Structure 1
Amino acid sequence: MQTRIAHTLSAISPGLGLCVAGTAVALGINHLLPTVSPLLIAIVLGAVLANVARLPESTRPGMRFSAKTLLRIGIALLGLQLMLSDILALGWGLIIVVVTIVVLGIIGTMFAGKLLGLSWTQRLLIACGFSICGAAAVAAVDGVVDAEEEEVITAVALVVVFGTLMIPAVPLLSQAFGLSDTDAGLWAGGSIHEVAQVVAAGGAISGAALSVAVVVKLARVLMLAPIMVILGIHQRSRAGSGTDVKRPPLVPLFVLVFLVCVGLRSSGMLPGDLLTVTQTVQTALLTAAMFALGAGVRIATIKKVGARPFILGTLSTVWIACIALTGVFLTGG
C-alpha cells in the first residue's frame, strides 16, 4: 500500500509541482491586480506555457491529477460559498428565472450544436459550461460522461474567450438599454459564464450590481447538482444492466460533498475564520486546476476543431444573454 502511494506521488510530482508554481504566479499577479481573477490568469498562463514550450511527458500525470482530482475538490468546496438564505432572498420569480436560464440555455445550445454537427459530448460540455458555471461545470460534466480530452479543452477555451468578452459587453449594453444598476447586476449574474467573470463585470457596474450579480450567479452554480444527477441517471441507462458493464455513480461523490458543504454553510455553524481558510484553499485548488486545463489549450488543437465550436459558443452566449435579459424585464428587478 505504501509502495503504491509512493509510486503515485512520484508520478504526479513533476506535473503537480508545475501547477503549484503556476498557481503561485497567478495568485501573485492577482495580488497586484485584484480585479483580475487568478483562475483566468492561470488558464492564460497554462495556455501560453504549453504553446511556447514543450512540456515534458513526465508532467502529464500530475497535470491530469490537477485537472480532475483537484478540480473536483475545489468544486465541492465551492459549496461553502453558497447560502441558501441568500438565494431564497432573491424571491421565487428570480429563482424561476435562474432555473429557466440554465434549462433553456442547455436545451438551446444542445439543439444548435446538433444542427452544426457537433458530437453529443462536445455540445453538452459547451452547454453546461456556458449555462451553469464555466470551466468548473465543463470539468464536472466530463467527470460524468467521460468526454474526449480535445472536447474538454475546446469547451474550456470557449468559456474563457466568450466569458471574457462578456465582461465589458454587459456593462456597456446595460447602459445602452437604460438598465438600473440592480437590473444590470441581475443580467450579469444570469448571463456570464464564470463566477470570476461575473465579479469583474458586476464590479465594473457598481457595488450594488456586484452584490446581486454574485448571488444570482451562485444560484446558477447550485444548479450544477441537479444537472449532474440527471446526467448520472442518463449515463447509467446508456451503460446497460449487464454484470460486466461498469455503470457510473448515480450522483458523483464530489457533487454529494458539494451539497454537504452548501448545507454546512447554510446552517451558520461554521466560524468565519474557517470559511476564510477554506475559501483560500478552494481558490488555490481551482487555480491549479485551471492552470492544468489551460496547459491543454494548444493553438494546433483549436485549429483542428475548426469554426463550428466557436459558432456554437457565439450562439449560446447570445441565447443565454437574451433569456437572462428577458427574465430581468419580466421580474422588473
Structure 2
Amino acid sequence: MSVVTEPKLISGNSNRPLAQSIARRMSMHRGMSVGLVDTRVERFNDGEIFVEVYENVRGEDMFIIQSTSNPANDNLMELLIMSDALRRSSADRITAVIPYFGYARQDRRTKARTPISAKLVANLLTESGVDRILTLDLHAAQIQGFFDIPVDNLYASPVFALDILHHFKGKMSDVMVVSPDVGGVARARELAKRIEAPLSIVDKRREKAGEIAGMTVIGDVSGKKCIIVDDICDTAGTLCKAAEVLMEAGATEVHAYITHGVLSGPAVERVSKSVMKSLVITDSIEPSDAVKACPNIRIVPTAPMFAQAILNTWSGTSVSSLFETETLTPIYEGMYTRD
C-alpha cells in the first residue's frame, strides 16, 4: 500500500526569503504548517561547501529552492551538493526549483572554441540526482531540450499582465509594449497579446561586442506609455539607453518589466538616474539593499506562483495551467483587486 507524503521544501543560501515565502503560501493552501527542512549549508575555510540534512527524507517528495544567481558558481555547487545529499538519503523524488537559471545566456556557440555552458549545467544537475526542474523564464526556451528529465518553465508574463492592468487601469489605450531588441519580440508579443496592446521594437546595432552604435525605434510610440519587456536586466546599460531613445521618439512615459533583476555593477545607479518612471522585477533573485532602496524599482512576488506550481507537481496536476491569467488571478488575490 502506497503512502501519501506531503511535499517537503529545502533551501540553499541564494534566496532564503523567497523559499520562506513559498513555504508560507503552501501553508495557506494546505491548511497546515509547511516549513523548510532543517538543514546546515556552510563553507569550510577553503571555500568547500558542506551540507547536512537534519530530518528524515527517506521516500519523500523533495523540492530544493535555489537560484543560481551571483555568486553563480557557489550557488550552483550548493544545489548540486544538496541534491546529492538527498539522493544518498533515499529521497523518493528530487525537484530543483530554480527561479533564476544561471548560465542560461551561454546556450549556443557564438564563435569557435567556446562552450555551451547551459548544457554542461544541465548534465551536472541530472547527474547529481535531480529528477525534475521547475524554473522561471529561461533565457532561451531550447534549454529545456538540454535535459533528459522533465522541465517546467513558468512565465512571468501572466503576473506582469495582472500588474499592468492594475497600475494602468483607465490608461490602457495609451500603453504600448516594447521589445528592447529583435530577439525578444516573441516575449514582448506574448505580453502585448495578454493586455491587448500594440507592439514596438527597438533595433540596436553594435559596432563590436559590448558597444552599441545606435538604436532605432520600429513603430510609432508618440504619445504612448511604453513598457519595455525583457527576461534579464544585468548592468541596465541597454535598458536605460532604450528608454532614452523611446522618450526622444515621443513617448510620454517609459516603464520596464524585467523578470530577473541581476542588476550588477552600476545598474541600480543607472536605473535611479534614468528617464524610466519605473522598473518592475520579480524576486527570482534576492534583491540587494540598494535595489530595495531605489525609489523607481518595484518588486513583484513570485512565491504565490511557485507555491502553486510545487503543489501541482506534487499532486500530479497541470503546471501549464499557471500560464493563464485567469488561473493566476485567484492565486494573487488581494494584490490586484479590480474595483
The alignment's TM-score, normalised by the length of structure 1, stands at 0.32
- Bigger fraction of residues in helix: 1
State the structure with bigger RCO (CA 8 A, min sep 6), 1 or 2.
1
Which of the two has greater strand per residue? 2
Computing the radius of gyration from Cα coordinates, the structure with the larger value is 2
